[in-house]
Amino acid sequence: MSSAAETGDDLRESLVDTLRQNLADGVVGSEIAGGDAWVRVRATAWRQAAEVCRNELGMDYFCFLAGLDWLENKDLSGEKVWDPDGGAASAEIGAEVDGTTADGFATGVAGGGSRFQVLARLYSTTAKLGITLKADLDAAEPRIDSWVGVYRGADWHEREAWEMYGFQFDGHPGLRHMYLPGEFEGHPMRKDFPLLAREVKPWPGLVDVEAMPGEHEAAAEDATPQEAEA
């Protein structure tokens, strides 16, 4: 079993090497760990990376494309709810992740230098190997080349990332709303988009037993014993 995993990692090494050769300085970070491979490319090399994957590496299967927002927002990320005092724990969370930037963004596997990232996964059904590609996007004006010309399946995924994160995909045949109504304003998956249900009422799911009707007034007075225990 272990030898099979090793040969898999060798193959992944060669995938990453091929990308490096073809994109030159377009590749800015890579990581191979836990039976998977990540490559971070420059936003300008995004489309070319897809072409290399498709034509040179035989990645025939388009898996998904998604956005990522690394903004630390305690109000939203649940720490507010789980840690009523604002969270001494959350200060150390960022420190555990590699590649913390000056802005305080901790940006995950294969690093990152910006608030927004786009990530996509491709797979080769012949070599049975997958790869995750990432690219940093400008925080103020996130825009990147579309993949629709390389993988047709990217169409809907880019529409979703456009509406949920506000990323512009240059060359996309028509960025229309995927899920939300046409007049919707804002980009709901951004970390600074408020989740109103949580603003109105704290998430009751933290405690095992929810208070019975009429019980909350009494519970609020004795400083939420369950939360203190957790």
Partner 1 sequence: MAVTTDWQRAAYIAGQAADARVNVELETEGMTLNLGPQHPATHGTLRIVVRLDGEQVVWAEPVAGYMHRGYEKLAEVRTYPQITTLVNRIDWLGSFCNEVPFILAAEQLMGIEAPPRAQWIRTILFEMGRMANIILFVGDMGVQLGAITPVFYAFRDREHVLNLIEAATGGRFHPNYDRIGGLKEDLPRGWVDEAKTAMQKVRDFCDELDDLLMGNEIFQKRTRGIGVIPPAIGLEYGLSGANIRASGVDFDIRRDEDSPLAWKHCDWKVWTHPDGDSFARYWVRLQETREAANIVDQLLDGLPSGSIQAKVPRIIKVPAGEAWCHTENPLGEMGYYVVSKGGLGPFRVKIRTPSFNNVSIVPWVLRGVYVPDVITILASLYFILGDIDR
The sign of the CA dihedral 50, 56, 62, 63 is negative
96 binding partner 1? (CB under 8 A): yes
Q: Which helix (H) or strand (E) holds 147?
A: none
Specify whether the CB–CB gap between 171 and 145 falls below 8 A: yes
Contact 134, 112 (CB under 8 A): yes
225 touches partner 1 (CB under 8 A)? no
According to CB under 8 A, which one of 18, 20, 42, 94 is a site residue for partner 1?
94
Looking at the Cβ atoms of 182 and 213, the one nearer to partner 1 is 182
The stretch among 11-19, 35-43, 45-53, 217-225 that binds partner 1 (CB under 8 A) is 35-43
Residue closer to partner 1 by CB (options 86, 205) is 205
Four-CA torsion 131, 47, 54, 128, nearest 10 degrees: 10
Nearest-CA neighbor of 168 among 148, 188, 149, 141?
Answer: 141
Using the contact rule CB under 8 A, the part of the chain among 16-24, 123-131, 209-217, 218-226 near partner 1 is 123-131
**Which is closer to partner 1, CB of 20 or CB of 191?**
191
21 or 171: CB nearest partner 1? 171
Question: Rounded to whole angstroms, how far apart are CA atoms 88 and 117?
Answer: 27
178 binds partner 1, rule: CB under 8 A: yes
CA-to-CA distance for 64 and 49, rounded, in angstroms? 15
Scanning 109-224, the segments in alpha helix (DSSP H) are: 154-165, 196-200, 216-221
Q: Is 205 in the site for partner 1 (CB under 8 A)?
A: yes
What is the smallest separation between the CB atom of 84 and partner 1, expressed in angstroms?
A: 13
Under the criterion CB under 8 A, does residue 15 sit at the interface with partner 1? no
Question: Which of 65, 70, 34 is CA-nearest to residue 49?
Answer: 65
- Any contact of residue 228 with partner 1 (CB under 8 A)? no
Answer for which of 20, 48, 66, 224 binds partner 1 (CB under 8 A) is 66
Q: Please give the sequence-ordered ranges of beta strands (E in DSSP) within 52-171, or none if there are none.
A: 61-69, 116-124, 129-137, 143-145, 168-170
Where do contacts with partner 1 occur on this chain (CB under 8 A)? 1, 4-5, 34-36, 38, 60-64, 66, 68-69, 76-79, 81-82, 89-90, 92-94, 96-97, 106, 108-109, 119, 121, 125, 128, 130, 132, 151-153, 155-157, 162, 164, 168-175, 177-181, 188-189, 195, 198, 203, 205-206, 230
